[in-house]
Structure 1
Amino acid sequence: MSRGFVKEDDQEENPIIPNRAPLPAGAANYVTANGLKELILEQESLEAERKAVPAEESPEKRSALKVINGKLNMLIERINSAEVVDLSEIESDEIRFGAIVTFQFSNESQKRIFQIVGVDEADVKEKKIAFTSPIAKALMGKKTKENTQLQLENGTKDITIHKIEYPSS
């Protein structure tokens, strides 16, 4: 077949669309109310970005739209599967999803504070860790003043829990 009869789209490479944060197979997609708001804002931003793509037909436009649409599809899938956990209703003295935990590694003098959140909300800079992370798994179910261990490739780290709180909203 002559190249003249091949659709132009067939000659373009498909862009690489980065995956969202991994959610283990079969795991619920827990999110905080704030996390769901952030996902919806991200969706609105991507939709605005899609509208801003120039109207003229070009390989660059088609590629940009494929990336945006791919990101939107993955995001909408996450939004649709989101299970919002109402943190204001949690009255617990143990660490669960949404808890803000103050803890300390036995070999360090400084205390650390992290909130356990959904996979899409996790951001170490913001002191938020995913409930699927090894440290969150080590902390889950523990209480204040309790000790636990974090399993690492080269051994274990002892952890002491100092404070557990849940945000009111």
Structure 2
Amino acid sequence: MNISRLPAASHNLLRWASAWRLVAFPALGALLLLQGCATGQKGPSFTPAPRSDDVATVYVYRLDTAPYLRKPDVKVNDVVVSELPTNSYTVLKLKPGNYTVKTDWNGAFSLGLDGLILNASTTLSAVAGKSYYVNLAGKLGVIVTTVTYGAKVTSEELTEPPGAIYQCSFVPPKNVSIEPR
């Protein structure tokens, strides 16, 4: 296109559009790359595990919970059982008894203070033959220049899985032994 025949205002518009493309397309590519990192490898979608009469089935899941690019350690009675990226779940088979389920955000990329803000826990009294759902939830928000995080870990016994868990992909648990307290 011969831009010499266009008015001067059009010249500036064409220069701006060209410069915008130089910034926008690489930024879009980076955003897509980060989205891929945020979701990680996808396992199979949620499928209820078979119940067992001698152990409790515990589903630990995390839905769209910030910080999205980080995976907290999930600990049961201070034993790391899994790392859960956002929109994922794991299944544990636990002996009857009392357990503490908590998140530990003090991983490799931690600033050291993350755990003070992000860590949360819940207790669980597991009964053989029952299913429990532990939701790692939270809310990240910015108020003026202060970042706030409301960490929340809840557990409940349900006969049917909560509908939101069907958005999650399976992450196998670590092969560890956990004893009740």
Larger relative helix fraction: 1
Query: TM-score under structure 2 normalisation?
Result: 0.29
Q: Structure 1 or 2: larger strand share?
A: 2
